[in-house]
Amino acid sequence: MKALEGVKILDFTHVQSGPTCTQLLAWFGADVIKVERPGVGDATRKQLVDVPGADSLYFTMLNHNKRSIELNPKTPEGKKVLTRLVEECDVLVENFAPGALDRMGFSWENIQTINPRIIMASIKGFGPGKYQDCKVYENVAQCAGGSASTTGFRDGPPLVTGAQIGDSGTGLHLALGIVTALFQREKSGRGQKVSAAMQDGVLNLARVKLRDQQRLAAGPLEEYSQFGEGIPFGDAVPRAGNDSGGGQPGRILKCKGWEQDPNAYTYFIIQAAIWDKVCDVIGEPEWKTKDGFAKPKDRLDKLNQIFDRIEQWTMTMTKFEVMDTCNPHDIPVGPILSMKEIMEDEGLYATGTLVKVPHPERGEYVSVGCPIKLSDSDVKVERSPLLGEHTRQILSDVLGYAGTELDEIIASGAVGEVK
């Protein structure tokens, strides 16, 4: 048995944020029915295409374990079918632009009237307020949620990060909201509306930076390199480069081969608790007792000197040798892994974090499997559906249409070219 077995999800999501949410629910066992515009489908099917004619990796990697029905709810027949889906499903998930679902005639009020037990979950760029009507993409959310202003180096422009914290991050937040609402429904018998704004999701992940914003009132942020360098702080949290955010000084340092390999680097943290071991490992044992070096606070104005010395040492070995040398001493280090190295890591395939998925149009591809492991709810990653692959199956098996009624719906064009 799977954790969410028996839960039916009407998946009205597209692009990245919503699909990551419903993909997780599908991996936990929910029956996810992806509703797509006839003949077109989710726009990502045809974005960043690498195999001509086949669904893109962008689409396939975000829509595993789902079924696809083509449906245009803007037609009379399409409205009837969508109404039946709302009646049948436990959860409706959507991430259309603000107002799009209302314009289709499916406002939250109407949806509740059709099915009072349904949970309706929405992702929008912003919560209620002056920007509530804006369309929002990943990097806009990273900027509006405080991530970009606090990422990068002090003397450079704000930076966005490659991790999709606005899209996939908000999808994760929404998934938690949905299972929480399902849990509450067990007791209340009622559905509810679950909302996650991308700005809020990013801000939640940038929480430590709002912490630092308030700490500024009490004085400079001593763990930031800028403090040791004697550069005054302004009135907003500055970009901290690769400083570690947890109060323990840390940097990215060069390793052997950095001249040719852009990822020959390691992260290196000098936690107070292992300072003596760091001194021994890098060959500076006198720093353990030396004035200005022995105490963590005294080291703050010498971080550049200290990390330069550690880097002289890390540059003598590969990032993996640094890891192998430091780990036995509990010195926290981490190699900067390229996507190529990650994709070649057999250990990640063994745990199901990476999976090889066969696909009829594009052949086998590598995807990220379910990153959350449940001991009693196994995940088998299935390929994403072709556009409208399950239209007939969903109309008949899930919604119970048959005979002339089924023929009429198909003939109306509301469900595309049914295979």
Minimum distance from CB of 9 to ligand CAO (Å)? 16
Binding mask 32-51 for ligand CAO (x = CB under 6 A): ---xxx--------------
Under rule CB under 6 A, residue 154 binds ligand CAO? no
> Would you say how long the chain is, in residues?
419
330 tagged catalytic: no
**Beta bridge partners of residue 33, listed in sequence order:** 10, 67
List the structure tokens of 294.
């022995």
**Are 56 and 46 in contact, with CB atoms under 8 Å apart?**
yes
The neighbour count for residue 278, using CB atoms within 10 Å, is 22
Give the span between the Cα atoms of 122 and 234, in whole angstroms: 37
Under rule CB under 6 A, residue 123 binds ligand CAO? yes
Which letter does DSSP use for residue 31 in this model?
E
Minimum distance from CB of 116 to ligand CAO (Å)? 24
Give the span between the Cα atoms of 72 and 355, in whole angstroms: 33
One DSSP character per residue, 106-150 reads --HHHHHHH-TT-EEEEEESS-SSTTTT----HHHHHHHTTTGGG
Nearest CB to ligand CAO, comparing residues 89 and 240: 89
Choices 92-100, 149-157, 308-316, 392-400; region in contact with ligand CAO by CB under 6 A: 92-100
Choices 118-126, 236-244, 296-304, 338-346; region in contact with ligand CAO by CB under 6 A: 118-126
Out of 31, 55, 167, 243, which one is annotated catalytic?
167
Residue nearest to ligand CAO (CB): 97
Give the residue, chosen from 56, 63, 72, 225, that forms a contact with ligand CAO under the rule CB under 6 A. Answer: 72
Minimum distance from CB of 8 to ligand CAO (Å)? 18
Give the residue, chosen from 97, 272, 343, 402, that forms a contact with ligand CAO under the rule CB under 6 A. Answer: 97
User: Quick one: three-class SS letters along 287-318?
Assistant: HHCCCCCCCHHHHHHHHHHHHHHHHHHHCCCC
Under rule CB under 6 A, residue 74 binds ligand CAO? yes
Nearest CB to ligand CAO, comparing residues 125 and 249: 125
Q: What is the CA radius of gyration of the chain?
A: 26
Nearest CB to ligand CAO, comparing residues 47 and 316: 47
Minimum distance from CB of 88 to ligand CAO (Å)? 17
Give the span between the Cα atoms of 322 and 248, in whole angstroms: 19
Minimum distance from CB of 359 to ligand CAO (Å)? 22
Give the span between the Cα atoms of 144 and 136, in whole angstroms: 10
Nearest CB to ligand CAO, comparing residues 43 and 236: 43
Nearest CB to ligand CAO, comparing residues 33 and 104: 104
Under rule CB under 6 A, residue 96 binds ligand CAO? yes
One DSSP character per residue, 361-388 reads TT--EEEE--SS--TTS-----PPPPTT
The residues binding ligand CAO (CB under 6 A) are: 15-18, 35-37, 71-74, 95-97, 100, 103-104, 123-125, 135-138, 167
